[in-house]
DNA sequence: ATGAAAGCGCTAACAT
DNA sequence: ATGTTAGCGCTTTCAT
């Protein structure tokens, strides 16, 4: 087995506690001893056992990041933001993927209670399930939601200005002359979707347009979304504008339009939430609502470390809202 | 603090060892006691401390996955493949990102020696640094490379048929009538690149074409790649075909062509390695060499678990090669 | 079938 | 400034 503190101690004829303190850079230990220990440890390539240390200290030096997937450009950017601050704090980032499955999400959060992480950053999975597993976890460890959050769980959150973003996207289409605008939504109980939808409705109202229920398309089920969109766009009076509330739906809309030979933007204008670096390379270049993913990751991680360092809960959960940006491109020209 | 085995034992007037065994489903324990313990544990929502258990058992139930980034579609698909088999084996997957920085990679692998993971899956970072940190780690724990591997490190590996893929891409362009084909390469010491390049050379040779050094473009430095490509494509005698050896270069080539108003495929045909689901939505639809990313992740994880279960190294490192597929689209029409 | 005891490697009181 | 001791929560001999 590897080198342990005990071996170092016996080799150097010191007590294990002395070695432990020396390695931790304690000022209780004389500079000479400290240096002797540190040098010897390096020479034998001593690596402390992280789990033994965690067990004793009752902290892990890990933060857990729970997300639906990693293929979405928002999430991959956000991870980088999270990592940038975690690295600075000397923490490890452990990524857990739920694949938007609440069962898996539940299993993961349960597992956190076994003491693998000190705190959790999370963007919730779609679904109608209860949120008690989240609440139970949040009762034990600091939790910060980013982007996708549940209202009924008390926790800090980092969001974008979703109402405004939805408003801007819709307003933009109306300005371009769209007469009938479809809103592609996923799970309606998800807050960010409700907000984006609210923005959509507000914009229609401000332009004196009615909100029509049949223009709000539920695309919650990946398997049927393609057909749903196809039906929508081939009906006698199809929308001439589309607000896509998440990246996957944006790309799906493109796919369907391509398949149907529907010209974007002539037949239908498309604006979608997306952080794709290649939005400009799509056919046609895609007008996007781009969220500050990296900054959101940073902000969420910062909030979490604040909580970790306080070791006491803020009585009123913190909320941070960062603005998204509309990038106009050919898909809405 | 949480519920521990000790509390359960005292509550049930049993020894901790009895409780431990009962919870582990040992047949040393009578069915009645076992059930009594299990039920009580569930009723008080007992969660075992993962680190205490790891410390004692000397295994962690974690596998580490080390990759450059997560924004590349190959990697995000591969992660899903890895997770699918890890979940089945009851293991946790911990993802570590190197951002293609060998320093970070080294820090991560070093950290593994502190006993956070039982084995490692890895796609190496670009760079000229030594590989001793990898070798040292591989000496202590099972390691499986997938896709990006170093030749000089003895470890199992899961690769694609890179020579053939490079050959096919180049052959395809030649068939389409390209006269001068550029090969966009990254770090030449990376094996997959050498192989893809070899395929490129073989194809040229088979078509009786010379291999010209100036057609092999080194795009190792993200900051200068844009200018490098711009120079290449604006020189008096530019290539009329491009083989892009990694996804990021494929997208960069598109970006540069768009910026220069160079028509794809008329002015220059482009084929690139990529697993992007949206290749068909690009302008124009992109001809890709698509690797079986999910299957590679599965294969690599399977190899790792084999090693973990054997607890003994195969004397000759295993090698698994899966075929890539050429998807022909408009960018090479 | 159950229990007592030791110990994984480390840290932190508490002596000295 | 250094050492002694106890113990984090668990598993695993080795008794009984």
Residue B189 has pLDDT above 90, yes or no: no
User: Which nt has its C1' nearest the CA of B58?
Assistant: C8
Domains of chain A: 5-57 (1.10.260.40), 62-160+293-323 (3.40.50.2300), 162-291+326-332 (3.40.50.2300)
Average pLDDT (B150-156) is 94
Instruction: Give chain B's largest Cα–Cα span.
Output: 88
Query: pLDDT tens digits for B2-48?
Result: 899 999 999 999 999 999 999 999 999 999 999 999 999 999 999 99
CA distance B76 to chain A (A): 6
Chain A contacts of B73, Cβ < 8 Å?
A: 71
Q: How confident is the prediction along chain A (333 residues), in pLDDT tens digits per residue?
A: 689 999 999 999 999 999 999 999 999 999 999 999 999 999 999 999 999 999 999 999 999 999 999 888 999 999 999 999 999 999 999 999 999 999 999 999 988 988 899 999 999 999 998 999 999 999 889 999 999 999 999 999 999 999 999 999 999 999 999 999 999 999 888 999 999 999 999 999 999 999 999 999 999 888 999 999 999 999 999 999 999 999 999 999 999 999 999 999 999 999 999 999 999 999 999 999 999 999 999 999 999 999 998 866 667 789 999 999 999 999 999
Q: In the structure, how far is the CA atom of residue A136 from the C1' atom of nucleotide D12, in angstroms?
A: 33
Task: Decide if B285 and A283 are in contact by the 8 Å CB cutoff.
Answer: yes
> Which residues 37-76 of B interface with strand D at a CB distance below 7 A?
48-49, 52-53, 55-57
Task: Decide if B284 and A283 are in contact by the 8 Å CB cutoff.
Answer: yes
- Let me know: does B309 contact B293? Beta carbons within 8 Å: no
Q: Which residues in A73-112 belong to E strands, given as ranges?
A: 92-97
Chain B contacts of A278, Cβ < 8 Å?
A: 251, 254, 278, 282
Which residues, listed in sequence order, are joined to residue B97 by a DSSP beta bridge? B67
Residues ≥6 apart with Cβ < 8 Å to B304: B63, B119, B120, B121, B142, B144, B156
Q: Look at residue A236 in the predicted model and tell me its pLDDT.
A: 93
Q: B317 pLDDT band (50/70/90 cuts)? A: confident
Residue of A nearest to B53 (CA): A51
Q: Look at residue B311 in the predicted model and tell me its pLDDT.
A: 60
Q: In the structure, how far is the CA atom of residue B190 from the C1' atom of nucleotide C9, in angstroms?
A: 39
C-alpha span between A61 and A23 (Å, rounded) = 17
Q: Which one of A53, A80, A95, A260 makes the best mutation probe of the B interface by having the most chain B beta carbons within 10 Å?
A: A95
Q: Look at residue B50 in the predicted model and tell me its pLDDT.
A: 93
Provide the 10 A C-beta neighbour count for residue A28: 10
Q: Look at residue A71 in the predicted model and tell me its pLDDT.
A: 86
Query: pLDDT tens digits for B215-250?
Result: 999 998 889 999 999 999 999 999 999 999 999 999
* Sheet containing strand B319-322, strands side by side: B92-97, B62-67, B119-122, B143-146, B156-160, B319-322
Chain C bases having any atom below 7 Å from a protein CB: 1-13
Q: Is B13 exposed, middle or buried (0-12, 13-18, 19+ CB in 10 A)?
A: exposed
- Let me know: does B59 contact B91? Beta carbons within 8 Å: no
Query: pLDDT tens digits for B114-134?
Result: 889 999 999 999 989 899 999
């Amino acid at each position: 087995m590897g080198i342990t503190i005990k071996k170092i101690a016996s080799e150097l004829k010191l007590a294990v506690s002395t070695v432990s303190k020396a390695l931790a850079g304690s000022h209780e230990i004389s500079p000479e001893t400290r240096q002797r220990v540190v040098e010897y440890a390096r020479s034998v390539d001593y690596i402390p056992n992280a789990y033994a240390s965690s067990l004793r200290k009752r902290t892990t030096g890990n933060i857990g990041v729970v997300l639906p997937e990693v293929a979405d450009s928002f999430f991959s950017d956000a991870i980088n933001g999270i990592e940038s601050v975690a690295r600075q704090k000397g923490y490890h980032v452990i990524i857990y993927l739920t694949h938007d499955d609440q069962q898996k999400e539940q299993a993961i959060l349960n597992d956190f209670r076994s003491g693998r992480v000190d705190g959790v950053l999370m963007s919730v999975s779609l679904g109608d399930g209860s949120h008690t597993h989240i609440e139970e976890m949040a009762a034990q460890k600091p939790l910060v939601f980013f982007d996708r959050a549940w209202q009924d769980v008390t926790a800090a959150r980092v969001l974008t200005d979703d109402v405004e973003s939805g408003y801007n996207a819709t307003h933009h289409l109306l300005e371009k002359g769209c007469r009938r605008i479809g809103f592609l939504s996923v799970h309606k109980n998800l807050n960010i979707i409700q907000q984006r939808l609210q923005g959509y409705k507000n914009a229609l109202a401000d332009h004196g347009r009615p909100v029509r229920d049949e223009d709000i398309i539920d695309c919650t089920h990946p398997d049927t979304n393609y057909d749903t969109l196809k039906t929508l766009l081939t009906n006698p009076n199809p929308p001439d504008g589309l607000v896509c509330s998440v990246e996957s739906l944006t790309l799906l809309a493109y796919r369907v339009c391509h398949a149907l030979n529907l010209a974007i933007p002539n037949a239908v204008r498309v604006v979608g939430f997306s952080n794709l670096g290649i939005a400009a390379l799509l056919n046609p270049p895609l007008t996007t609502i781009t969220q500050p993913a990296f900054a959101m990751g940073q902000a969420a991680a910062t909030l979490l470390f604040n909580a970790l360092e306080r070791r006491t809960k803020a009585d009123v959960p913190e909320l941070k809202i960062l603005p998204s940006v509309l990038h106009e491109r050919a898909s809405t020209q």
